[in-house]
Amino acid sequence: MSDWLRNPASLFDVRGKVAIVTGASGAFGSLAAQVLAGAGAKLLLAAGNKAELEKVAAECRDLGAEVAVANLRPSTEEGCEAITEAAIAAFGEIDILVVASGMNAPAPIVDMPLEQFERIMDANVTDSWLMSKSVGKRMIARARGGKIVLMSSARGKLGHPGGYSAYCASKSAIDGLTKALGCEWGKYAITVNAIAPTVFRSALTAWMFEADEKATAVRNGFLARVPLGRLGEPEDLAGPLLFLCSRASDFYTGHILDADGGYSAG
């Protein structure tokens, strides 16, 4: 009998694994950091906001994790190499990469400067490509496999009337990158997957959870397309993240996991 049958929860065990989380001061990045910390992983947290980065690092240490930080964004090849080397210097290896860095700045396409479009594409796509390249080559050289998780969105599949031409395009590109790397790196036992949420509770979306008239109208309009009938909570992303970072997903690569309450099924 296989050992995991005696303890199926062991499939999700990431204790002692070394994880890099970029964008660790953001809504999903801080959640990812804390989930992995609570699950026993060792963490290299990277973000450009030093104060918020240190705050998240302290929260992860309170959960019992070993934590190192790099006050860097993955916006250049040199920066990504520095983040990767910081993880190796701190812990000797890298098992997991979560690219949670990104941005959105909505505007109608006719009003959006090219520079704004390029910033969104760089933050959401180029940074993910650069960080995956930097960590991936170390994983390939080590020959022990690895887990890479990128950040997509329901907007990678569906449009939005609120000036999302750059954001939707960037998340569609993340879906393509996930599939391409999943195919390219399968022979190295490196899985590459993405999580695609809709609205989940965070500092940025807290207003949608309020009881005032405007928030209620927006929320009800959105929920009319969500089969499960509610907005997302942080724990709704925690499970998919842990799945994609653990050996439970060893036969799962090149996929976009829609953590959206059924929104994209409608």
pLDDT in tens, 124-134: 999 999 999 99
List the catalytic residues.
Answer: 167
Number of Cβ atoms within 10 Å of the Cβ of 31: 22
- How far, in Å, are 27, 35, 57, 120, 260 from residue 242 at the CA level? 17, 8, 19, 27, 16
Residues 170-229 have pLDDT tens digits of 999 999 999 999 999 999 999 999 999 998 888 878 888 998 999 999 899 889 999 999
* Position 16 pLDDT exceeds 70: yes
Spell out the residues 6+ positions from residue 187 whose beta carbon is closer than 8 angstroms to its own. Answer: none
Q: What is the pLDDT of residues 223-237, one digit of tens each?
A: 999 999 999 998 999
Q: What is the mean pLDDT of residues 60-79?
A: 97
Q: What is the pLDDT of residue 1?
A: 61
pLDDT, residue 203, reads: 81
**54 has pLDDT over 70:** yes
Superfamily name and number for 3-197+235-259: NAD(P)-binding Rossmann-like Domain (3.40.50.720)
8: Cβ–Cβ under 8 A, 6 or more apart, which residues? none
Residue 88 above 90 pLDDT? yes
Mean pLDDT rounded to a whole number for the chain = 95
pLDDT digits (tens, 9 = 90+) for 24-42: 999 999 999 999 999 999 9
Distance of CA 108 to the CA centre of its chain: 26
Give the start-to-end residue ranges of the domains of the chain. 3-197+235-259, 201-231
